[in-house]
Amino acid sequence: MLDSPPQPQLPADSDTNNAIVATTRHWLVRAVIGLNLCPFAKSVHVKGQIRYVVSDACDVEGMLAALETELRTLVEADAERIDTSLLIFPHAFADFLEFNDALFFAERLLEQMRLAGELQLASFHPQYQFAGTQPGDIENYTNRAPYPILHLLRESSVERATQAFPDAAEIFERNQETLRRLGHEGWRLWMQEEAERP
């Protein structure tokens, strides 16, 4: 039984970041959009409004520096051009509990920058585990990504999306049921397939 998506091998050439972004984009298209885990994701993907940023951070301090830069970039950007950001950490937080602990400092930074209420954070990790589950439970795969990722979202976009999908509160339960039906082998085969281009 697979406990998480296999961790991709990082290329040792100048195209490393492009390869990391490509792997992340494949996960987004196949899992998040392909399985409809987030009904809000397809629109910004198709419009090219997702910003992908690969951080070279190796610890919490580096993560916070990268996050501060990206928060400022997103809040200053035209929402029609950049609606949301995926901040990817391929060199840090291999341990999920360490990553989970770091989220406390990430949320605190958001508040210190007085951006709470304007931006919000979501998180993904190769070993993501919901409270009350076992590491191998398929339900955890709803939040499992190839790398540790902080997803920066605009509150205004979240509100609009919620209005467009009145059953947004049920998404979590629906996602878990989707993964239960798919199972571990179904997940593995699904993720092996090539992502369709928008």
Residue 39 confidence (pLDDT): 81
**The token pair that represents 86 in the structure block:** 């995926």
Residue 87 confidence (pLDDT): 98
Residue 168 confidence (pLDDT): 64
**Rounded Cα distance, 119 and 154, in Å:** 5
Segments of the chain scoring below 70 in pLDDT: 1-14, 165-166, 168-169, 195-198
**Rounded Cα distance, 98 and 173, in Å:** 26
**The token pair that represents 69 in the structure block:** 């830069």
**What 3-state class would DSSP assign to 22?**
helix
What pTM was estimated for this model as a whole? 0.87
**The token pair that represents 169 in the structure block:** 């509160």
**The token pair that represents 76 in the structure block:** 């200053």
CA distances from 83 to 64, 87, 164, 185 (A): 21, 13, 17, 34
**Rounded Cα distance, 54 and 23, in Å:** 12
CA 21 to chain CA centroid, nearest Å: 12
Residue-wise pLDDT tens digits, 118-144? 999 999 999 999 999 999 999 999 999
Residue 169 confidence (pLDDT): 65
Residue 193 confidence (pLDDT): 83
**Rounded Cα distance, 137 and 129, in Å:** 8
**Rounded Cα distance, 76 and 193, in Å:** 37
**Those residues with Cβ within 8 angstroms of residue 120's Cβ, 6 or more apart along the chain or in another chain:** 110, 152, 153, 155, 158
